[in-house]
Amino acid sequence: MAKITETMISQILSAVGGSSNVSKCGNCMTRLRLTLANNSVAEQATIKQIPGVLGVVESDEQFQIILGPGKAQQAADLMNQLIDSLTAGGEAPAHQDLSSIAAEQKKQVKSKQTSSVQRFLSKFATIFTPLIPGFIAAGLLLGFATLLEQIFVIGQEPSQFMVDMIAYMKVFGKGLFAFLSILIGYNAQQAFGGSGVNGAILASLFVLGYNPEATSGIYSGMSEFFGYTIDPRGNIIGVLLAAIIGAQVERRVRRFMPDSLDMILTSVFTLLIMGVVTYVVIMPIGGELFKGMSWLFLNLNDNPIGAAILAGLFLISVVFGIHQGFVPVYFALMEAQGFNSLFPILAMAGGGQVGAALALYVKAKKEAVLRTQIKGAIIPGILGIGEPLIYGVTLPRVKPFVTACIGGAAGGFFIGLVSYLGLPVGLNTVFGPSGIVAIPLMTSHHGIFTGMMVFVTGLVISYIVGFLSTYFFGSKDIDLS
């Protein structure tokens, strides 16, 4: 049988209409599954003649190329790499609205981010981005449920309907966090080149119970691993390590596995190997990393200087593509505190960005294109979508980007100071929107209203300092046309 090669994948990509016609590339056990913008462009006769292609199946939603057992995963990996490389070298769009400018600027910046660390951390976006809508939904429902509880239940005689409604709104968040590890394990192993399902199974090892006397949860059927104590602490850190390493093990097993046995035995050997590694190595290391990460950021968050540094540098981490590295920290803080105290600090960076953009708007002449661009991006920025402002307004002009960071640092200093004085606040879910949309998701050990008030005050400070520092220092000798 023909091997999967870059030449073969290049021929397939060309025959389906090029990278611009491929909206999504995935696979099952035997088929390369493509979502095409226009199926009629694909040349089925040409594809069928490519050595190694066993057939083509077309539906309304997918264009499937049959390659046989053990081939599809490798083909999908190579095609995604080829599409990424072609996209990175594409031409800039001709129109010059702010979204186009921001997208082009972002593409140019990202194309320079080729270090192994940056490529590794960029995978985290693939893992967690699909989960963000669920986090936001569960967080909003929990926030509104807590709000109703404080208004209509605490200190009163609530109706049974209200009690049931609050319980109903909270149950989604509990379900999300109960099985979140499995979702992350699946996404993580796919992001790092595995099949996904093995990552989900490995993640379940952290969810299962190992105490036969436990009255809740699902007993795994074993209380020790060949006499070795099982300690599944450091849940998310351990899951990520197991899924990432498991993906590499799976790919190496597949190299030596005959194609005809790939679907049957590759996962068997991957799980047997990774189970040992998970119990003996990953769980202990993950637990210690989890504890260390929690300690470090709890101390940074409770320190106004540390919080100012974190908020001030966050926009820079976004530009360099390493901000996804904070995600495991969010989970550690959720477990340690019951809420994510780092997120509101980092969200202050978006506030500084909005303040800086408003200052440029005021400084620019009424007929300036910059004003029109900012006008179109400022509302998304206030709502927490900051990339149009970063890549289209402040970063290309450099000075406003620096003053935006200063505005974020000021807001972070305030949040850290309040925490230092004994009132830490945080997001009631792992992560969510960073602008005013996050207000209902805020909470604290003193109630949600206090958390909301502190967060809003921090945002206002970021807006003001970002505005003033840009107005007086960040708008001199820059292009305001």
Pair (346, 284) in one structural domain: no
Q: How confident is the model at residue 38 (pLDDT cuts 50, 70, 90)?
A: confident
Cβ-contact 21, 91 below 8 angstroms: no
Question: Which one is catalytic: 28, 214, 264, 272?
Answer: 28
More confident residue, 118 or 262: 262
pLDDT at 2 over 70: no
What is the model's pLDDT at position 462?
Answer: 97
What is the model's pLDDT at position 314?
Answer: 93
What is the model's pLDDT at position 196?
Answer: 87
The predicted-structure confidence for 59-76, as pLDDT tens digits, reads as follows: 767 888 888 766 787 888
Q: Does residue 99 belong to any structural domain of this protein?
A: no
pLDDT at 203 over 90: yes
Cβ-contact 243, 291 below 8 angstroms: no
Cβ-contact 423, 450 below 8 angstroms: yes
More confident residue, 429 or 171: 171
What is the model's pLDDT at position 96?
Answer: 46
What is the model's pLDDT at position 112?
Answer: 52
Q: Does residue 120 belong to any structural domain of this protein?
A: no
More confident residue, 475 or 272: 272
Pair (277, 344) in one structural domain: no
Query: Of 127-131, 133-137, 294-298, 313-317, where does the model show the most confidence?
Result: 313-317
The predicted-structure confidence for 109-146, as pLDDT tens digits, reads as follows: 555 555 566 667 667 767 887 787 888 888 888 888 88
Q: Does residue 40 belong to any structural domain of this protein?
A: yes
Cβ-contact 238, 206 below 8 angstroms: yes
**Interatomic CA distance for residues 443 and 145, integer angstroms:** 12
Pair (394, 442) in one structural domain: yes
What is the model's pLDDT at position 93?
Answer: 42
Q: How confident is the model at residue 176 (pLDDT cuts 50, 70, 90)?
A: confident
Which residues on adjacent β-strands are paired with residue 426?
443
What's the CATH code of the domain at 34?
Answer: 3.30.1360.60
Mean pLDDT value of segment 410-414: 97
- Number of residues written out for the chain: 481
User: Is 28 an active-site residue?
Assistant: yes
Q: Does residue 101 belong to any structural domain of this protein?
A: no
Q: Single out the residue of 18, 10, 64 nearest to residue 41, CA to CA.
A: 18
Give buried/exposed letters for 75-110 (b at 16+ CB in 10 A, else e): bbbbbbebbeeeeeeeeeeeeebbbebbbbbbeebb
Q: Does residue 105 belong to any structural domain of this protein?
A: no
Pair (134, 282) in one structural domain: yes
Pair (278, 354) in one structural domain: no
Query: Of 60-69, 97-106, 178-187, 329-338, where does the model show the most confidence?
Result: 178-187
Mean pLDDT value of segment 18-42: 85
Pair (278, 310) in one structural domain: no
Q: For the chain, what percent of residues have pLDDT higher than 70?
A: 91
pTM: 0.69
Mean pLDDT value of segment 218-238: 86
pLDDT at 104 over 60: no
Q: Residue 40 is part of which domain span?
A: 6-84
Give buried/exposed letters for 166-188 (b at 16+ CB in 10 A, else e): beebbebbeebbeebbbbbbbbb
Distance from CA of residue 23 to its chain's centroid? 20
Q: Does residue 267 belong to any structural domain of this protein?
A: yes
Choosing from 19, 51, 84, the residue where a domain stops is 84
Residue with tokens 């986090």: 135
pLDDT at 272 over 90: yes
Pair (265, 309) in one structural domain: no
Question: Where does residue 379 rank: exposed (0-12), middle (13-18), buried (19+ CB within 10 A)?
Answer: exposed
What is the model's pLDDT at position 214?
Answer: 84
**Interatomic CA distance for residues 18 and 131, integer angstroms:** 29
**Interatomic CA distance for residues 15 and 187, integer angstroms:** 29
Mean pLDDT value of segment 40-55: 87
Pair (222, 288) in one structural domain: yes
Count how many domains the chain has: 3
Pair (249, 196) in one structural domain: yes
Residue 325: both structure tokens together: 């590295």
Q: Does residue 113 belong to any structural domain of this protein?
A: no
Pair (344, 277) in one structural domain: no
Pair (255, 156) in one structural domain: yes
**Interatomic CA distance for residues 454 and 397, integer angstroms:** 31
